[in-house]
Amino acid sequence: MSVAERIRADFPILNQTVNGRPLVYLDNAATTQKPRQVIEAVARYYETSNANVHRAIHTLGERATEQYEGARERVARFVGARDAREVVFTRNATEALNLVAYAWGLRRLGPGDEIVTTLMEHHSNFVPWQQVAEARGARLRVAAPEPDGTLDLERLAGLFTERTRLVAVTHASNVLGTINPVDEIARRAHEAGALVVVDGAQSAPHMPVDVAALGCDFFAFSGHKMLGPTGIGVLWGRRELLEAMEPFLYGGDMIAGVRLEGADWNEVPYKFEAGTPNIAGAIGLAAAIDYLEAVGMENVHAHEQRLTAYARRWLEEVGGIEIYGPRGERSGLLSFNLAGIHPHDVATVLNEEGVAIRAGHHCAQPLMDWLEVPATNRASFYIYNTEADVDRLAAALVKTKEFFGNVVR
Amino acid sequence: MSLDELYQEVIMDHYARPRNKGRLEHPDIDRELANPVCGDVIRVQVALDGGRVGDVRFSGKGCSISQASASMMTELIKGRTLDEARGLIERFLAMMKGEPGDYGALRDLQALQGVSRYPVRIKCATLAWHVLEGGLPAAAADAAAADAGGAAAADAVPVEGGGAAAAADADGAAAADANGATAPGKRKIHGSPER
Ligand SMILES: Cc1ncc(COP(=O)(O)O)c(C=O)c1O
């Protein structure tokens, strides 16, 4: 068995037909499939250790707590955090970014302050800042990419002023595939006295990430996009910042003591984890990280680079296809449009062929407006995809062109 | 279901050669909505003529299903009374919900029946109808108010640096939210030639 075949064998869901054809799953930027190892880790937790964490004085409670906190340490090592207390479990990247917006943005920003972000953000790293700016009378400044889909560091840094308090930027674009130079952006932002929040939803699953090397202040990502369960996400934040922040949600577990007159907060990260957390989700995420690190994040990245380059050659060969985003180093996805054929129609034909891609605005409408398209197709790859999958994609695109060929305007 | 059943000839024909596509100079009803799934925007304009749909146009980009549905809708409602138009909207939406019944009144639009089996595509087919539906009662109540059509005055956030950046702009009538479709508010309809 080749490496790819061995990996595919771990993903039961891939072994099925859709509309009579073997499934080709190319919607990994939306969510990834789960290997048996993750599914079993979640099942094993429920079968052997399920209890509430942090409070119970009984064996199951201790076991559950140990596994949940073990998952936190696993995540901390995965992103290069110096301290597991810097890892806050959330529902997803969106909640992690909102946590920063509520617990830091709404409380620390005032009239005239400035937030700098980019036009290639997913709505979840754009709308929270738009809302915070509106609520606090702050100013949102938006940097557009260069025509090739990259960010120009000087142009971005040119927006930094002494009023800039926060820079919110995505590490990897979910539409363009651009990988942004977060380390340099962070250095420039810090020189300007601003904090840096990074949306890592499309980077942490696909390449080695080290928050210390990136030099950012907050880093958010989702477990479900990296082989883990849905409903578990992570906010990594610098400890001194997290400690100085007020809670985001109030209730159980986040409290040190409650009196009639008031309450004191638990220490970080518990201060930010009100209520019973997604224990099984965190344990599943740790199993996903084990799986990814056994493959090796460098290998994951290299595999996707190869597949993306291969797919680009195929799409160019098919012809009549516009591909968006930079040519060089990029994350493992391709957004494209077939001349005269709406992405919805493309995705419907592809689905008939058993090929799952995404068609839509990918929660990046400001970027769609900039590209001057209502929507795009997006094929996104992961460790279990092969060149044979790309061949099937290309064949289905040829079929789409034939089918709509007579009506293309 | 095969692709040929979904994309029937009449659908492809309306997609390739949309009827009543364009703009009216003095519409009594002028409204647009976005499909929240894909961001497609459809605008429908109606000029009334003694309680009837005198003239009607649609504009905006979309997939074959949304464009064909809008095109066939404009043909079907032209010349109808507003009550008849409401009845046809009701029939069409029922067909899209997969409700059994006689849809003869919808004529060519019956070709879209198969879409009801593609849950994500239903919103494509119903978009133009929801735009029209939301426009009609206001028109009946007060035609003058309908064409006042105040645009949502949104402060455009300037986009800085980079290539030819399109700032969000406030364009188009502010539409009330209806039936799961979102009012575009600050969205812009691109006036450039459609591809
Ligand atoms: C770049 C980026 N940021 C944020 C998100 C939001 O992720 P989630 O929906 O898991 O919160 C996504 C997922 O679509 C994404 O691609």
Provide the shortest C-alpha distance from residue B119 to chain A (in Å).
Answer: 11
Residue B108 lies in a domain: yes
pLDDT given for residue B173 in this prediction: 32
What are A107-141's pLDDT values in tens digits? 999 999 999 999 999 999 999 999 999 999 999 99
Query: What is the tally of structural domains in chain B?
Result: 1
Residue B164 lies in a domain: no
Average pLDDT of chain B?
Answer: 77
For the segment B102-127, the average pLDDT, to the nearest whole number, is: 93
Quick one: A275 and A362 in the same domain?
A: no
pLDDT given for residue A384 in this prediction: 97
B144 touches chain A (CB under 8 A): no
Quick one: A56 and A127 in the same domain?
A: yes
Percent of chain A with pLDDT over 70: 99
Cα angle A11, A300, A278 (rounded to 5 degrees) comes to 60
pLDDT given for residue B40 in this prediction: 83
> Is ligand 1 within 6 A of the CB of residue A94?
yes
Provide the shortest C-alpha distance from residue A146 to chain B (in Å).
Answer: 5
pLDDT score of A37 more than 60: yes
Of all residues in chain B, the one with the smallest CA distance to A366 is B168
pLDDT score of B75 more than 80: yes
Residue A30 lies in a domain: no
Atom of ligand 1 nearest to the CA of A124: 4
Where does the pLDDT of residue A281 fall: very low under 50, low under 70, confident under 90, or very high at 90 and above? very high
Atom of ligand 1 nearest to the CA of A91: 11
**From B39, B163, B194, residue closest to A368, measured CB to CB:** B39
Q: How far is residue A138 CA from its own chain's centroid?
A: 26
Looking at residue A369, its amino acid is D
Mutate to test the interface with B, among A342, A355, A378, A403 (most CBs of B within 10 A): A342
Q: Within 10 A of A58 (CB to CB), how many other CB atoms are there?
A: 8
Nearest to A144 by CA among A184, A117, A165, A163: A117
Catalytic residues of A: 363
DSSP label at A149? S
What's B132's domain CATH number?
A: 3.90.1010.10
CA distance A297 to A294: 8
Quick one: A194 and A333 in the same domain?
A: no
Question: Domain end: A229, A262, A293, which one?
Answer: A293
Q: Do B38 and A403 count as a contact with CB atoms less than 8 A apart?
A: no
Residue B14 lies in a domain: yes
Quick one: A17 and A131 in the same domain?
A: no
For the segment A305-316, the average pLDDT, to the nearest whole number, is: 96
Q: Which residues of B touch A366 (CB under 8 A)?
A: 159, 168
Q: Do A142 and B16 count as a contact with CB atoms less than 8 A apart?
A: no
Residue A269 lies in a domain: yes
The residue whose C-alpha atom lies closest to atom 7 belonging to ligand 1 is A93
What's A398's domain CATH number?
A: 3.90.1150.10
- Among A288-302, A312-326, B123-137, where is mean pLDDT lowest? B123-137
CA distance A188 to A400: 46
Provide the shortest C-alpha distance from residue A403 to chain B (in Å).
Answer: 9
Q: What is the domain extent for residue B117?
A: 3-147
DSSP label at A102? I
pLDDT given for residue A406 in this prediction: 65
CA distance B7 to B68: 10
Q: What is the domain extent for residue A177?
A: 38-293
Higher-pLDDT residue of B138 and A232 is A232
Quick one: A257 and A322 in the same domain?
A: no
> Is ligand 1 within 6 A of the CB of residue A222?
yes
**From B12, B16, B161, residue closest to A156, measured CB to CB:** B161
Contact A391, A317 (CB under 8 A): no
Q: Within 10 A of A113 (CB to CB), how many other CB atoms are there?
A: 19
Residues of A at the B interface (Cβ-Cβ below 8 Å)? 119, 130, 140-147, 152, 155-156, 158-159, 339-340, 342-345, 348-349, 352, 359-361, 365-366, 368-370, 372, 374-375, 403-404, 406-407, 409
Quick one: A265 and A211 in the same domain?
A: yes
Q: Which residues of B touch A142 (CB under 8 A)?
A: 157-160
The residue whose C-alpha atom lies closest to atom 13 belonging to ligand 1 is A30
B37 touches chain A (CB under 8 A): yes
What are A46-59's pLDDT values in tens digits? 999 999 998 889 99
What are A66-79's pLDDT values in tens digits? 999 999 999 999 99
Quick one: A375 and A278 in the same domain?
A: no
- Ligand 1 test: best mutation among A90, A127, A174, most atoms within 8 Å of CB? A174
The size of the A-B interface in CB pairs under 8 A is 108
What are B30-48's pLDDT values in tens digits? 999 988 777 788 999 999 9
First-to-last CA distance in chain A? 47
Query: What is the tally of structural domains in chain A?
Result: 2
Quick one: A181 and A243 in the same domain?
A: yes
User: B45 alpha carbon to ligand 1 midpoint, in Å?
Assistant: 37
- Among A57-61, A91-95, A271-275, B114-118, where is mean pLDDT lowest? B114-118
Q: Do B162 and A152 count as a contact with CB atoms less than 8 A apart?
A: yes
Quick one: A68 and A210 in the same domain?
A: yes
Of all residues in chain B, the one with the smallest CA distance to A158 is B161
pLDDT score of B119 more than 80: yes
Average pLDDT of chain A?
Answer: 96
Q: Within 10 A of B102 (CB to CB), how many other CB atoms are there?
A: 9
User: A224 alpha carbon to ligand 1 midpoint, in Å?
Assistant: 10
Quick one: A207 and A288 in the same domain?
A: yes
What's A134's domain CATH number?
A: 3.40.640.10
Of all residues in chain A, the one with the smallest CA distance to B39 is A374
Higher-pLDDT residue of A206 and B146 is A206
Residue B56 lies in a domain: yes
Quick one: A310 and A267 in the same domain?
A: no
For the segment B8-36, the average pLDDT, to the nearest whole number, is: 94
CA distance A288 to A222: 12
What was the ipTM of the complex prediction?
Answer: 0.77
Q: Do A345 and B64 count as a contact with CB atoms less than 8 A apart?
A: yes
pLDDT given for residue A4 in this prediction: 82
pLDDT given for residue B160 in this prediction: 63
Quick one: A44 and A145 in the same domain?
A: yes
pLDDT score of A297 more than 90: yes
Nearest to B176 by CA among B24, B73, B145: B145
Q: Do B194 and A409 count as a contact with CB atoms less than 8 A apart?
A: yes
Residue A259 lies in a domain: yes
pLDDT given for residue B178 in this prediction: 34
Residue A391 lies in a domain: yes
Q: Structure pTM?
A: 0.89
CA distance A131 to A144: 20
